[in-house]
Amino acid sequence: MPEPILRIAVDTPLRRVFDYLPAKNCSANALQPGIRVWVPLGRRRALGMIVARTTHTDIPASKLRRIDTVIDDEPLFDSVLFGLLQFASDYYRHPIGEVFAAAMPGLLGKGAPVNAQHSVWRLRSDASIADIPKRATRLHAVLHALNDHQWHDEHALADSHADWRGALRDLVQRGVVETSRQATSTTLEIASNAGALEAVPIPQLNAAQQQTLQNITAALGSFHTLLLHGVTGSGKTEVYLRAIAQVLERGEQALVLAPEIALTPQLLTRFTARFGDAVVVLHSALNDSERLNAWRAARTGQARIVIGTRSAIFTALAKPGLIIIDEEHDASYKQQEGFRYSARDLGIARAQRHGIPVLLGSATPSLETLQRARQTGNLLSLPQRAGEAQPPTLKLIDLRQHGATQGLSTPVMMRIREHLDAGHQVLLYLNRRGFAPVLFCPSCGWSAPCARCDARLTVHKRQHKLVCHHCGHEQPLRNECPSCHAEVKPVGQGTERIEETLAQLYPDAPLARIDRDSISRKGELDAVLARIQQREVKLLVGTQMVSKGHHFPHVTLVVILDADQGLFSADFRASERLAQSIVQVAGRAGRETHAGEVLIQTEYPDHPLLQQLLNAGYEGFADAALAEREAAHWPPFTRLALLRAEANDLGKALQFLRDTRTAAQHIKHGKQYSGIQVLGPAPAPMTRKAGVHRAHLLLQSDSAKTLQALLAALIPKMDELPSAKSVRWSVDVDPIELF
């Protein structure tokens, strides 16, 4: 019988797999899909993953190489996860080897064993102990512990002699003792925290929460996509905790995803207080071995609850029972470079393959999710805040009537004073960091540009720098205009400037700023949050960072300083994002006994989006926005794929996309591709970024299936286009940013 051929995925940007012969002295049965191997690739050795066995290869026998070593004795990913990764590679049109690499902790990609292992030792059966001198008491002490010829681990040997390790080394060298590695058995330790668990009071669910929980419970054991649309503070997290408790009771595991920024210590404390050691966390602050340990604990089932950010959707689970995706609308679930997957959408696909429910939670669901939930009827809602807290009142402040000095209108300044005098906290939201977005010359009209981007430099006054927020370029802050030498002025507001203004207006109120400049490490954010919690801070100004997941019980006034960013954007998703951030920030107000107030500064108080939000809430906004999307053939009523090209000049990028368009048109002649629009090519809104020119071509389709079929045929053609040589290009399926 001829030897089998193994198809192997290797972590390279090539869209292909590689064929190999089995390793020498290796039973072919050991070579199953999902097993990692080391293979020779060119002149290097690469880690690969077996994806299939076959009997045929196009590679001539003389060129066919052998697998070097087999790493695993069982597949790393179970068949569901393995299938999901293959699906993801197909769907997002990303090389399978890179998909596997992205799905495993870094150390597994370097060949670390999938199971935790430890060393063991035993006496060789043919050992001749007689040769060991009587006076070597150290060696005899260890030999005594090994005299039953069984394998022993370090716990069993540690008491034998103070230098037992040295003695073992010696004995192994003499050929008397042999050593091996054994899988470390894992034991559940949930009970160890039982005492602490009881100390935390568990609230009685209100009627709406009760109903929601019942619906989730009824869904356990089979695939459902449930949307939990609950206003901020409505007790969604409490419902998650109860649902998870039921999942654990069934002997299953729960996987919980949260955006990085919402994965707060507060949230983790709530989970560990309830479930103790059963919880593991996978986020960006872990080092490689911590990440691997958490992943292993999930894979063996030792960890019953896995909480993590985007990439945690690929965590291997022994017995999955429920997937929860908190803040499902958050853009961070979509990876924006390389393997451009959506963890939310893959979460749904994964749940379907496992036959378990997926629960998507948000106060501001994405229009895609909302539309789907309305169609399927799987919409659970918590329309009211839990406990005593009341919903905040929203009010627009017309900036055309009330001039704003340094970004703050008079009514806003007065209300801030009143809330401070009442002993409360005030939160100001501005999604623009730095001191001012523009450095401007009033005499000739010059404004400081980035040399590498089609963008202006942001003034960072405290650091005395001009910084490009798109490419990171920095230069010293200047005082005079380079063309007419007049004095230049920072124009517009950033959080740094608002902080300065607030310090002048309210010198008595301790102030904190939360944005990427003031908070660079994870610990810093925790420290500021603690100061807010303890009411040391009275005034809080921040970017998006303050709007997500935090619970500020003493904030009673929220001011949205500039609602107008996003009202008139060319991006069809801009209004959705604006509505979400307004509602999310507003939701930080009055989360406890005092009613909250939200003031929204705008020059366009009659804008329909603001009116809808004010009069009919997020639901009202969503109704109108969905109607608009349907009329304009945007998602969720159509599906998109964005082809981006970058080159050192715009002409080359556009030429490649024109050739791509022609190729697509050619393929499209077949009937099955009707219903696909090819839009563009066009220069990207910010054409030049970090010195490269960018253009894109948009494919819009009535159905995901036809779009997939077109992409499958088109992408190999794109690789072959002569104009592809002078560009870098990528494909983004279900893009959420259209630049």
Residue 466 makes contact with Zn ion by CB under 5 A: no
CA atoms within 13 A on the CB side of 675: 16
Torsion angle in degrees (nearest 10) through CA of 103, 105, 106, 110: -90
- Reading the block at residue 696, the tokens are 């894109």
| Residue 209 binds which entry of Zn ion, ligand ADP, none, CB below 5-8 Å type-dependent | ligand ADP
Q: For residues 174 and 270, which CB has a smaller minimum distance to ligand ADP in the complex?
A: 270
Q: For residues 385 and 456, which CB has a smaller minimum distance to ligand ADP in the complex?
A: 385
152, 130, 149: which is closest to 140 by C-alpha? 130
Residue 119 makes contact with ligand ADP by CB under 6 A: no
Please, what is the angle between helix 79-91 and helix 96-103, to 10°? 130
| Residue 481 binds which entry of Zn ion, ligand ADP, none, CB below 5-8 Å type-dependent | Zn ion
CB-CB contact of 139 with 169 (8 Å): no
Q: For residues 237 and 544, which CB has a smaller minimum distance to ligand ADP in the complex?
A: 237
Q: For residues 308 and 590, which CB has a smaller minimum distance to ligand ADP in the complex?
A: 590
Site for ligand ADP in 387-406 (CB under 6 A): 387
| Residue 141 binds which entry of ligand ADP, Zn ion, none, CB below 5-8 Å type-dependent | none
Count of residues engaged in binding ligand ADP, rule: CB under 6 A: 15
- Residue 390 has what DSSP assignment? P
| Residue 484 binds which entry of ligand ADP, Zn ion, none, CB below 5-8 Å type-dependent | Zn ion
Query: Binding residue for ligand ADP (CB under 6 A) from 95, 230, 542, 735?
Result: 230
Helical segments of 461-607, H only:
495-505, 522-533, 574-586
Residue 238 makes contact with ligand ADP by CB under 6 A: yes
Query: Binding residue for ligand ADP (CB under 6 A) from 233, 320, 596, 680?
Result: 233
* CA–CA separation, 564 and 400 (whole Å): 13
Helical segments of 96-163, H only:
96-103, 106-109, 137-145, 154-157
| Residue 386 binds which entry of ligand ADP, Zn ion, none, CB below 5-8 Å type-dependent | ligand ADP
684, 671, 235, 182: which is closest to 470 by C-alpha? 684
Query: Binding residue for Zn ion (CB under 5 A) from 453, 502, 684, 736?
Result: 453
Residue 580 makes contact with ligand ADP by CB under 6 A: no
Give, rounded to a whole angstrom, the gap between the first and last alpha carbons of the chain. 55
- Work out whether strand 539-542 and strand 425-429 pair parallel, antiparallel, or are unpaired: parallel
CB-CB contact of 417 with 506 (8 Å): yes
225, 229, 187: which is closest to 208 by C-alpha? 229
Site for Zn ion in 480-509 (CB under 5 A): 481, 483-484, 486
Q: Which helix or strand (DSSP H or E) is residue 281 part of?
A: strand 279-282
29-50 burial by CB neighbour count: b if 16+ within 10 A, else e? Answer: eebbbbbbbbbebeeeebbbbb
Q: For residues 321 and 587, which CB has a smaller minimum distance to ligand ADP in the complex?
A: 587
For residue 615, give the amino acid letter. Answer: N
Residue 327 makes contact with ligand ADP by CB under 6 A: no
Closest contact distance (angstroms) between CB of 597 and Zn ion is 39
Q: Which stretch binds ligand ADP (CB under 6 A): 226-234, 399-407, 608-616, 681-689?
A: 226-234
Closest contact distance (angstroms) between CB of 284 and ligand ADP is 22
| Residue 230 binds which entry of Zn ion, ligand ADP, none, CB below 5-8 Å type-dependent | ligand ADP
Residue 386 makes contact with ligand ADP by CB under 6 A: yes
| Residue 437 binds which entry of Zn ion, ligand ADP, none, CB below 5-8 Å type-dependent | none
| Residue 441 binds which entry of ligand ADP, Zn ion, none, CB below 5-8 Å type-dependent | Zn ion
Residue 470 makes contact with Zn ion by CB under 5 A: yes
Residue 429, φ and ψ in degrees, nearest 5: -115, 125
| Residue 450 binds which entry of Zn ion, ligand ADP, none, CB below 5-8 Å type-dependent | Zn ion
- Reading the block at residue 399, the tokens are 């900036």
Residue 200, φ and ψ in degrees, nearest 5: -90, 120
Q: Which stretch binds ligand ADP (CB under 6 A): 77-85, 204-212, 440-448, 711-719?
A: 204-212
Q: Which helix or strand (DSSP H or E) is residue 5 part of?
A: strand 5-10
Summarize as ranges the residues that interact with ligand ADP (CB under 6 A). 203-206, 209, 230, 232-238, 386-387
